[in-house]
Each structure stands twice: as structure tokens, then as C-alpha cells.
Amino acid sequence: MSVGIVGYGVYVPRYRILVSDIGKAWGSGGRGEKSVTGPDEDVISMSVEAVLNAVDSSGMSAKKIGAIYFGTNSSPYIENYASVIIREVLGLSSEVDVCEFTGSPRAGVGALKAAMDSINAGRVENVLVVAADCRPSQMGSDLEMTFGAGATAFLVGRENTIADIEDIFTYSTMMIDRWRHTKDDYVRSYDYRYTREYGYVNHVRTAVEGFLKKNNSAMDQFQHVVLQEPDGRIPKEVGRALGIKKEQTAGSLVGVLGDTGASSMFLGLFGALDDAKAGDNILAVSYGSGTSDAIGLKVTEKIGQKKAEVRSLKSYVADKEEIDYLKYLRYTGMIEQAGEPAKLGLTPVSPFLQRSYTELYNFLGAKCKDCGHINFPPSLRVLCIRCGSTDLENVKLSKKGKVYTYCINYYMPPPLEAPLAMIFGDLEDGLRYQALGTEMIPDDIKVDMPVELVLRVLTVERGVSLYGYKFRAVKHGI
């Protein structure tokens, strides 16, 4: 059996800014829009949403994941594995390998190739691959007009694949077109006319031609062709040069989401898989930092067997809220509110939190075997608070429920954003949980409103990002 994709999920933040709004601020124009992370989102919180979608869609138990390979250029850390949080959220064994791939918008393909090698070598059976980015861009720069945010995750394995990976052809040269030094806060770029021709166009063409020649195949054999989209223009140019027909492409995402970096090609690929039929051939082509990968996939008959209803790319693209440039700058942390930041009582590296991360992220409660009460969090409870029993067992808790009561804070020091809802939600398992709200409009919050817990950044202190669950309104019909 060949290695392929067992399930996939995507995530796009709901905020958008019109590129023309950015242009207006700096005296230029601009077309289309791009996705923007909310004030409490980062590449990890986005990835967790995509991962949960991917696991649900696969119908596979997350316990079968043997490794997590994460491709991104937006990790909060240069040293320290940010993605280990994904393993904690899924509640996987500490033997599950976590590895990060970075340095290029094609970082996700590096992760995918490593995943295939790990499986082919027989070391693991299934790998969770994540490709996500929300790269910061300097105010007033060309890249500010394009850099968007998105996350993708997929399970790679041999069993129950919905699309098999036939081959990957990689072409790489020492081309420096976009880069970010450790001393830089933002990605830099060189003369666009030069890098377009010798960078993207040359590498993508060569990789595709190499793939077709190696596999004795032709462009018209592919029902779907997906290209990495660093902007709206050059993929079209390459498409023309390679003879890609309009019906082979699902339409551009860069015009609605921006350049989503490591997730760009995968968002296109999973959009194509949403529409694909058994037997379809897909060609997906990456590009970044002088490297292009042409990936051929064949859709299997399992494509039609829906495991669970998860949010599709189309729904994420459609569900959006336009924000203005000022809000964009605040949400992305380019400008900050004055005042002393609200500090944690204990830092994210304190033993208090380090001993609690697994139960907080995997969301475990200590259920009393005598009276049934769920004690939370387990590390704080040796005895059941209701009956005093010591017969407690950790159980995984539901993250869905409804609002029991709430309030809305209108004055908050940075980095908290007011108005800020504080919600007490009654979860399906019977636990009442207190958390901040996210993506909420104050007037829309009501007692009994359905809500779900999503992982978000609570704060960054001592250079460590602290995550926690927040309540988000459950929307129906998307």
C-alpha cells in the first residue's frame, strides 16, 4: 500500500482586511483582501484548530499518530518546540515524536517528505503533518499587502487513504529572493522583477517539468492543479507557461486570504480534495526560498466516505469579518496600547504551570467515582470537593456547552482587549468552566447560547506564549 493522506483539516482566522485599506494608509492602491489573526491567535492556536478538524475528518483515533511534523515560519520560538502543544491537546503519548521544519514557505513539504520517509522506514505508522503560517510584515512594506494567515493539518499513513502520494519531485538552487535573518523582525525581499523570473517561475517550471518527465506523464492528465501562491500574479504566469487550463484550477486563494506561507499550497490542495472524485489526479506545486516541490496525488475511492462533518475551506473563506487598518495593526501586535501590561501571578515557566499544562491543554477533569462530580483541574484536587472521596479518575472533558452566565469587562489593561467577555459555561459533561470569550460581539452574548472552547494565546510573558481555552459562540450552518 502506498503512503497517502488519511484525513485533512484547515483553519483560516475570521478577520480580513482589504488590501486597498493598507494601500490607502501608505498612499497606494491594492486589490483583494487578506486574512488576519485575531488578537489572541498565533500559528499554534490556528494549527490546533486545523489539527482537530483533520483528526475528526480522518475517522482515525488520534492515539495512532506516531509523530507530529510541523512546518512553519511563524513559530513564536527560534529555540523551543512550540508544536509540542498539539501533542498535549490531542493527549498523545510522550513517545510521539515532535519535529519542526522551517526556513521557507515550502516548509510543510519538508515535513511531508519526512513523514513519508518515517512511514516507509517502518518507524511509525501514521504522522500528523501541519503546515501553517502567519508571518509578520513590516508596516508600509510590499509584503504587508500580501502576507495572510492560514493553517492546514493532515494525517499521513498507509491505511484508509483518501489520496495516495504518487511521487514528489524537488528542485532546489541557491536562490535568495525572500529571507529573514535572526536579527530581522520581518521577511525581506529583493527586486521583484528579478526574483519573479529567476525564483518562482524558474523553480516551479523546472520542478513540474522534472516531475512530468520522471513519471512519464503530461499536464492534461491532472484534473486538479494547485500552485503555491505568494501573490496573485506569478502563479498565473507559470500556469500559462506550463499550459495549465482554467478547469484544472479551483481558483486563486491569494486574492481572498493573502500569501498564507507554508499553508498556501496545502489550502489549495485541500480545497481541491473537497471537490475531488475517486480516480482524480492532483498536481500540487510548492515554492519557497529557491526550492519547489511538484507532488502528484491520486484520489482513492475512500474520498466519498465522509467520516465526520468538519468545516471546509469554503466555509472558512466565507465566514469573515472585515477590520480596518488600525484594528489590523492592533490585532497583529504592530501597535500596542499604553499602560502597564497585566502580568500573570506566576510565569508560564513556573512549576505551577509546567505541572499543569497537560491537563489544561488536553482538558482533563478528575471525576469522582463516588459522587460523579468533575473536579478541575486535577492537579489541584486530591479529594473530591463535593464529597471528600479520594477515588478520582482523570477523564477527557467535552469542550462544548452553553452559557450559564457572563459579564463583559469594558476596561482591560494590555495585552487584553476590551470589551472582553468573561463566560461561565456549562459543558456537556457537567463541568462549569470559567473562561474569557473570543470573537464575540457583546450584544450577541446570551444566557443559554451554545459555546465551544478553543485554544487561544492568553499572554506572552518572559518570552513564553501561554495558551488557554476561551469560549467561542457555536455557529450553525457553516
Site of interaction with other proteins (CB under 8 A)? 339-340, 342, 344-346, 352-353, 356, 360, 376-377, 380, 385, 404-413, 416, 419-420, 422, 424, 432-436, 442, 447, 458-459, 466, 468
Query: In this complex, which beta carbon is closest to other proteins, that of residue 318 or of residue 407?
Result: 407
Q: How far apart are CA 444 and CA 441, in angstroms?
A: 5
Query: In this complex, which beta carbon is closest to other proteins, that of residue 59 or of residue 468?
Result: 468
| Smallest distance, other proteins to C-beta of residue 83, A | 20
Q: Calculate the CA 76 to chain-centre distance.
A: 14
| Smallest distance, other proteins to C-beta of residue 416, A | 6
Query: In this complex, which beta carbon is closest to other proteins, that of residue 103 or of residue 430?
Result: 430
| Smallest distance, other proteins to C-beta of residue 473, A | 16
| Smallest distance, other proteins to C-beta of residue 407, A | 3
| Smallest distance, other proteins to C-beta of residue 394, A | 17
What is the full DSSP assignment across 231-296?
A: SSSHHHHHHHHHT--GGG----SHHHH-B-GGGHHHHHHHHHHHH--TT-EEEEE--BTTEEEEEE
Query: In this complex, which beta carbon is closest to other proteins, that of residue 176 or of residue 346?
Result: 346
Q: ∠155-40-405 over CA atoms, to 5°?
A: 105
* φ, ψ of residue 247 in degrees (nearest 5): -70, -15
Query: In this complex, which beta carbon is closest to other proteins, that of residue 279 or of residue 413?
Result: 413
Q: How far apart are CA 452 and CA 426, in angstroms?
A: 10
| Smallest distance, other proteins to C-beta of residue 423, A | 8
Question: CA distances (Å), 388 to each of 34, 385, 432, in order?
Answer: 54, 6, 19
Query: In this complex, which beta carbon is closest to other proteins, that of residue 121 or of residue 411?
Result: 411
What is the full DSSP assignment across 34-52?
A: EEE--TT--HHHHHHHHHH
Query: In this complex, which beta carbon is closest to other proteins, that of residue 250 or of residue 422?
Result: 422
Q: How far apart are CA 277 and CA 104, in angstroms?
A: 31
Grid coordinates standing for 191? 527586486
> What is the Cα Rg of the chain in Å?
23
| Smallest distance, other proteins to C-beta of residue 161, A | 38
Q: What is the 3-state secondary structure (H, E, C) of 93-132?
A: CCCCEEEEECCCCCHHHHHHHHHHHHHHCCCCCCEEEEEE
